[in-house]
Structure 1
Amino acid sequence: MGFIDRLFSRIGNDLAPAASRPEPDNVVGQNLVDGRFWGGEGLPFGAGVSSASEAAKVSAVNFCVGIIADTAGGVSVDLIEKDYRRSELELADVLAYAPNPLETGAEFWSSMVYNGALRGAAFAEPVSTGEGLEIWSLDPLRTTVDWKDRSFLLTYQDDGGLARQLGPADLFWFKGLSDATLRPLTPWQMARGSLDFAIALERQGRTFFQNGNRPGGIVTASGELTDEQFAHTKKAIDGWKPGKTALLEGGMDYKPISENNSDSQLAELITQRTVELARYWRIPLSMVAEVSAGKANSEQQAQDFVKYTIRPLTRRIEQAISRRLLTADMRAAGIRVRINLNSLLRGDSATQWKNAVLARTASLMSADELRVDWFDMPAIGEAWSRDARTPLNSNRAADTITGGQTAPQDQVETEDA
């Protein structure tokens, strides 16, 4: 069966009525479909979240996915040679600085990670042009993926409405967690229950303030109202919602039937839902909630965010680039992909300086490596500054400046001098 046949077959199945489902004749003013009320702003949960775009409008989700995208997309993506030098291949510059003519490296990788963190997978299409290699991310709203047992087929609608089908060999992609299948687990769908609850809380708070902080209730009268009394009462109630004073006639009484935001603990529930949503994306508590955490605890949680959230994601991206963009000859030559997270793990300025001294005294890094990679300073460029084994008490630095003479402060006068 061809693509068009499958498409019309699927459309026909979607349009076929469910014969076993009775029409909802006992619901006034609403359409009951699949157990949900649609279009009711006053209802507790409304229509719920039905797409990734709607999920991203929830502030907690947007924050969680956004901070992952900006953090992972803001670090350098480099190709490293066998001797740990940065590769001079064209692909290295494409990945690091200009994946395509309209996006920088940071913009491209941030958008890819945002899509991957929200939807569980991100896809891009490498294109060879007359000017070289370009990589274009695919719009997720135009993309549908048919995951199979050992492959997948991606259908993409281009600007002209033409559907193109692409296979694994035509694409660059990475995905998140999956349950022993190729199909990734979609984070926003896993969090749909929490998302519906969060939206319901937002609607409750919005409705409460739209009604002038007045809770809903019932107006009762001791006797039958005349048409004039009914009109006056309706006008008073309509004016009462925006904050005016309602005058109830004929011994009428008002009894509230809904709690205000304080009694319903709306603020506490919103905080609890925010923390719950953050768990789906492994965001530390100190980053999403207003908690009185100490500086040391906050710094430790920031380190945990890098280790347990950003590092697993960037590791997948590293291996995806190595497997799907590097050729077999490149891998055989020792070229590898490195997403450097060291800048996220160094701590504050004082900690960075202490770590630099430790790395230098332990002969783990040379003076040039520390100056260039850690402090964005130019390399000294001498043989001793490139050698991590050069001891700190060596006079080679002084010899470089004085032309071979020992530094004046290190000279020792003798009796014969």
Structure 2
Amino acid sequence: MPLFQTIRGWFSGQGGPARNPGLQSSQPAGYTSASAAPVNFDSAMQISAVWGAVRIVSETIGSLPFNLYEVNAEGRKVASDHPLHRVLTRRPNRYQTRVEFWESMALNLAISGNAYAIIQRSGSRIVGLLPLSSSQVETTLLDDGSVVHAYTDGVNVKVYAAENIWHVKLFGNGVIGLSPLAYARNSIGIAIAADNRVTKIFSNGAKPSGVLTIDKTLTKEQRAQVRANFSELEEGNEDRLFVLEAGMQYQQVSMTPQDVELLESRRFQIEDIGRFFGVPSILLNQTFGQSSLGSNVYEILSAFYKLNLRPYLEKFEESILRWLVTEAEAQRLEAEFDFDSLLRADTLSRYQANREAINSGQLTPNEARLSEGRQSLPGGDQLLVQGAMIPIQNAGQKPVREVPNGTQDSQP
């Protein structure tokens, strides 16, 4: 991005990220302070909270069943004959399974805010989708409004037109998504610095520093020799017996307040990092304190689905209909992840829901059995309804019955 555009972005008015022609950036134009430690993909993924948040998002999306549906006046059915259905549900490319493909796309989207895949075609038919590492792709907005993607592979740079790259993005300037990793740099940097401090403390057996007192003045050489000889009081073998001479005394210094607060700081970083990735801290095995989502696992998963995973899935579903099928096909196709298996309630609740759906005529018995993984039974394809319901104006009246002489009589 040209320097004058960056400077203009610093002093521009409030609003969303600017969309100027040229190389698009998913990172902030500047940071308010220096990071406590260098942050990149490899260093960030060594932090358990980052690894856990990204893993939950990517593996959950990868595990969800996905289908492409064809919609008509009678309802919808799986579009198993469509070439794209095979690509998205069985063989996305020569290297990956369906699960691995969606995990790769979700990983890049969660980390960098952008997921890219090369669209492989045979004629006009899509036969494969090959995910790219978002760190190797640069997106440029040309003066005429078109978009190109430059993929760096070693020393080679390949430039692709927008129609040859499937680009899924988080919120941003409309051309590129904002990177959670870049915007969470300071929080992740603090977590890395805290981990480094803990590593340093425990690398010497968690021994605090100390003071060695000698009742006489030492020369520079003597101080160096004493420091070398007795350094293992702090760093060495815990079982070694040291003998102090000539009135020497060793006094252990307690841990600093910063070290005492280190554990609390690391707990906070789990919550802070979870906020950037939209993952509740309790799903990152953060058991300290109480979850604001409640203790019920179903409630936690439901809230996580609605507030975090659902937007991810919507982006994938809508992007498929926008960029991977024709406009005519998009009018009759639906792309959908099936989240019901993850949000399935307990057995009793499901049975009660099925009973109510059957009694109200919304499901047939066989449809309810199929939802529970059971086979259909003869006679189970008819809709049923409770027969005891009467018009409200007849409430309280005794029912009538036919008598042998052809008249009607109220039943007792």
State whether TM-score is above 0.5. yes
Moved more, 222-231 or 112-121: 222-231
Alpha-carbon separation, structure 2, partners of 1:251 and 1:296 = 60
Aligned length: 347
Alpha-carbon separation, structure 2, partners of 1:175 and 1:255 = 58
Alpha-carbon separation, structure 1, partners of 2:308 and 2:186 = 22
Deviations 1:295-352 (A, max 9, x none): 85333112101111111110111000011111122123x1111112122222222222
1:354 counterpart = 2:352? yes
Moved more, 103-112 or 225-234: 225-234
Deviations 1:138-179 (A, max 9, x none): 1334323335685532111347x431111321111211122x
1:99–1:134 CA contact under 8 A, matched in 2? yes
Deviations 1:120-146 (A, max 9, x none): 010001112499701111133432333
How far apart are 1:107 and its partner, in Å? 1.2
1:52–1:119 CA contact under 8 A, matched in 2? no
2:34–2:186 CA contact under 8 A, matched in 1? no
CA RMSD in angstroms comes to 3.2
Whichever structure has more strand as a proportion of its residues is: 2
Q: Which amino acid aligns with 2:96?
A: E
1:274 counterpart = 2:283? no
1:147–1:208 CA distance, 2 compared to 1 (3 A): farther
Q: Which amino acid aligns with 1:327?
A: T
Q: Which amino acid aligns with 2:195?
A: E
1:120 counterpart = 2:113? yes
1:172 counterpart = 2:130? no
Q: Describe the SS at the equivalent of 2:341.
A: helix
Q: Which amino acid aligns with 1:94?
A: V
2:298–2:343 CA contact under 8 A, matched in 1? no
1:157 counterpart = 2:155? no
Q: Describe the SS at the equivalent of 1:342.
A: coil
Residue 336 (structure 2) aligns with: 338
In the TM superposition, 1:8-407 aligns within 5 A as 45=36, 47-49=37-39, 51-82=40-71, 83-88=75-80, 89-129=82-122, 133-146=127-140, 150-158=145-153, 161-178=155-172, 180-219=173-212, 221-226=214-219, 227=221, 230-238=224-232, 240-242=234-236, 243=238, 244=240, 246-252=242-248, 259=255, 264-288=260-284, 289-291=286-288, 296-332=295-331, 334-372=332-370, 374-380=371-377, 385-387=380-382, 389-391=383-385
Q: Which amino acid aligns with 2:189?
A: D
Q: Describe the SS at the equivalent of 2:93.
A: coil
1:229–1:188 CA distance, 2 compared to 1 (3 A): closer
Alpha-carbon separation, structure 1, partners of 2:380 and 2:167 = 41
Q: Which amino acid aligns with 2:358?
A: R
1:281–1:36 CA distance, 2 compared to 1 (3 A): closer
Alpha-carbon separation, structure 2, partners of 1:175 and 1:132 = 21
Alpha-carbon separation, structure 1, partners of 2:347 and 2:45 = 35
How far apart are 1:251 and its partner, in Å? 4.4
Q: Which amino acid aligns with 2:148?
A: L
Alpha-carbon separation, structure 2, partners of 1:127 and 1:69 = 23
**Which structure 1 segments of 5+ residues have no match?**
1-5, 11-34, 38-44, 394-417
Q: Which amino acid aligns with 1:48?
A: P
Q: Describe the SS at the equivalent of 1:136.
A: strand
1:154–1:167 CA contact under 8 A, matched in 2? yes
Alpha-carbon separation, structure 1, partners of 2:83 and 2:150 = 29
How far apart are 1:72 and its partner, in Å? 1.4
Q: Describe the SS at the equivalent of 1:203.
A: helix
1:95–1:105 CA contact under 8 A, matched in 2? yes
Alpha-carbon separation, structure 2, partners of 1:64 and 1:385 = 44
If the length of structure 2 is used for normalisation, what is the TM-score? Answer: 0.74
2:211–2:253 CA contact under 8 A, matched in 1? yes
How far apart are 1:257 and its partner, in Å? 6.4
How far apart are 1:290 and its partner, in Å? 1.4
Alpha-carbon separation, structure 1, partners of 2:374 and 2:152 = 47
Alpha-carbon separation, structure 1, partners of 2:34 and 2:279 = 31
1:151–1:182 CA contact under 8 A, matched in 2? no
How far apart are 1:275 and its partner, in Å? 1.2
Alpha-carbon separation, structure 2, partners of 1:151 and 1:247 = 77
How far apart are 1:95 and its partner, in Å? 0.7
Alpha-carbon separation, structure 2, partners of 1:256 and 1:48 = 33
1:362–1:293 CA distance, 2 compared to 1 (3 A): farther
If the length of structure 1 is used for normalisation, what is the TM-score? Answer: 0.73
1:308–1:186 CA distance, 2 compared to 1 (3 A): same
Q: Describe the SS at the equivalent of 2:318.
A: helix
**Which structure 2 segments of 5+ residues have no match?**
4-32, 388-412
Alpha-carbon separation, structure 2, partners of 1:54 and 1:342 = 35
